[in-house]
Structure 1
């Protein structure tokens, strides 16, 4: 029996089709697009937070799964802010239980699957370049649910090892990240399968929005001038946009920060569309290998939403080169912070494009132990 909120439903942002969150439907049946969530958050009382559970579940009024911390929690969230300059701070999301920010969304997905019950869900599947799959694998084993993770064949061996250590079955898919998504989606409609898609299922976005709630709390009820986020499928950016909208609607912030989206120059379809003034992707883009494997997404399904969120915030897109990624990884390591190449993209961007004194927070999204140091010979390839 499910214990989810009865008034919370899936809704397609394209055609308005609705679906029950008690179903296993992972996409809009009419257009095949990703779901949004019809859910109204309540205001979070800043003064009430001091005595609450020290995880992202402290913001329970803003989360679409009621009842406080769930059984699958690993204490995710509440990562520290560390100053990098007078104006820029880093949020250390690589200190999450599985060493990446993807835990924020994965815990909500797997808790939803658990609440649907064993008569409905017999296994969980996910597709990933590594970090999301690791997070889903960890929380699935915590929930006692068998898990299969589809990853590109070129995925870091250390990430594959981490996924398998959690007991998940690995499907190595020939080709790129897009081919991996297609392979997982082909298996997603198998009876009893819960597709823990961090792209299509909006519960993931309502988990990642806690990233901004934590910044808001740690800054005493305010947000910086700019929130800088790496963008591949846009799950952190769209979660940030959700949080900013909610905080503003409840009168908890008086202005909205800019969203500054960062892509690798080698795979930057959203940046190209944004700077061309387009509302959607502008056709097939030539892509190249990149150190930032976690954001190397040539066809993000939520492209229109991502572009709209950045424009509505007054923000922009920045791109970074392979040389800049490598330099940023080494620079952060010299400051005591060892982060994987995808996770350093935002620091690379603000280092190359200073924000003229505006305050900003950048995420350090994944631990360097997941990939190791970028080898000099692959830079500039």
Structure 2
């Protein structure tokens, strides 16, 4: 596992430690911590008690996700920031609104997690940073590691959108194209991550990323005047946005800031839907699935490492899973473009789901994320 040399300043006055949700293994959050559980190889969770964010205290705070400082696991003024967060909430129908996370600095919601993980990396002072991605996470890490002054290599599948690859390289990151699918890319990156002096900026294995994505829900709560909609609809591949949403709703509820937790409605592409299949079968683990071509490439994950956590989070919220077809994705992208919102094909999956299955909302107010800009991939053919 990864061990880094060199200085590693004190991270925070707030106690935090990695722990494995599968077997209870623990590790301190420091430069020598392994990037995954050394006992089972699974992803880490974080032992961290978020403080209450009082709504009335937010007026006049910094206009980025760092405004929710009490809920974040890193203390002190954050030098790594591009003004991420505070994206608009726009109504689409009488009950469904869209949060425009494609207006983030690198044009995707992944900036929420990348900025927190980049700040952690800056404090750990590694020799190099490794990341893997189907595109959007890679562009986020490339930008934020550049902002942090850290050399970064991003592993991507060979079929990744040329526009995303160009964006990664423009930020100064080295791009490693990997033959094969998204899982082959992850394996290549994880092998490289074991080299001494390397920080593996994994949006799947490192829980600091989830504590960044949870700010999506904190913003909803603030924008809606201290409440949340009855349903939060999120796309799910590796589940980073959904698990961040589950963290935030739990924290807000535990602090008495919302009366009940909203239902989490998870959306997968029908072509690659191991979690939706498992949910419908009442299983605790993702179903067997194979890689397949889909317009929703960003959520086409056959074997998500946090699959058990995702399924549990959806069930505990009283939510459900929906799947969308390729034709529904194409129609949703064009529909949104006709409303003035040009979103990449993965990013329209939730709107495709609620328009195809409106009955799942049961009349509840709902919010869908528009996760990535259409300029990253263009308009889906067909």
Is 1:82 the counterpart of 2:82 in the alignment? Answer: no
Q: Which residue of 1 aligns with 2:200?
A: 195
**Alpha-carbon deviation of 1:286?**
4.0
Question: 2:377 maps to what in 1?
Answer: 371
Contact persistence 2:291–2:301 (CA under 8 A): no
Q: Does 1:61 align with 2:65?
A: no
Specify which of 341, 350, 373 is matched with residue 345 of structure 2. 341
Alpha-carbon displacement from aligned partner over 1:82-132 (angstroms, at most 9, x marks no partner): 000000000000000000000000011111010112xxx011110000000
Q: What RMSD over aligned residues (CA atoms) do the two structures have, in Å?
A: 0.8
Match of 1:306 in 2: 310
Matched, 1:71 2:79: yes
Calculate the TM-score normalised by the size of structure 2. Answer: 0.96
| 1:101 equivalent in alignment to 2:104 | no
Assess if the C-alpha contact under 8 Å between 1:134 and 1:159 holds in 2: yes
Please state if 1:208 is matched with 2:213.
yes
Structure 1 residue 3: Cα displacement: 3.0
Q: What pairs up with 1:97-136 in 2 under 5 angstroms?
A: 97-117=105-125, 121-136=126-141
Do the aligned residues in 2 keep the contact of 1:55 with 1:75 (CA within 8 Å)? yes
1:32 matched residue in structure 2:
41
Equivalent position to 1:320, from 324, 331, 340:
324
Determine if contact 1:24/1:194 at 8 Å carries over to the other structure.
no
Query: Is the aligned partner of 1:145 residue 2:145?
Result: no
Unaligned ranges ≥5, structure 1: 377-381
- How far, CA to CA, are the matches of 1:3 and 1:367 in structure 2? 33
CA distance in 1, matches of 2:29, 2:106: 26
Report the more deviating stretch, 298-307 or 286-295: 286-295
Give the alignment partner of residue 248 of structure 2, picking from 243, 251, 256: 243
Contact 2:14 2:75 in 1 (8 A): no
* 1:24/1:193 contact within 8 Å kept: no
- Per-residue CA deviation, residues 134-171 of structure 1 (Å, 9 max, x unaligned), is 00000011111100000000000000000000000000
CA distance in 1, matches of 2:189, 2:131: 7
Identify which range, 45-54 or 284-293, moves more after superposition.
Answer: 284-293
Secondary structure of 1:336's partner? Answer: coil
Displacement of 1:287: 4.2
Asked if the contact 2:181–2:291 (Cα under 8 Å) also holds between the matched residues in 1, the reply is no
Aligned length: 371
Q: Which residue of 1 aligns with 2:188?
A: 183
- Alignment partner, residue 379 of structure 1: none
* TM-score between the two structures when normalised by the length of structure 1: 0.96
Give a deviation string over 1:241-287, Cα, whole Å, max 9, x none: 000000000000001100000000000000000000000023x3244
Instruction: Measure the CA separation in 1 of the matches of 2:222 and 2:129.
Output: 33
CA distance in 1, matches of 2:333, 2:286: 29
Alpha-carbon distance in 2 for matches of 1:124, 1:116: 11
Instruction: Work out which of the residue numbers 13, 23, 26 in structure 1 matches 2:21.
Output: 13
Q: Structure 1 runs of 4+ off > 6 angstroms? A: none
1:278 — aligned with what? 283
Kept after mapping to 2: 8 A contact 1:106/1:204: yes
Following TM superposition, by how much is the alpha carbon of 1:51 offset from its aligned partner in structure 2, in angstroms?
1.1
Q: 2:239·2:306 contact (CA, 8 Å) conserved in 1?
A: yes
Answer whether contact 1:138 1:166 (CA < 8 A) is retained: yes
- Give, in whole Å, the separation in 2 of the partners of 1:72 and 1:169: 20
2:234–2:266 contact (8 Å) kept in structure 1: yes
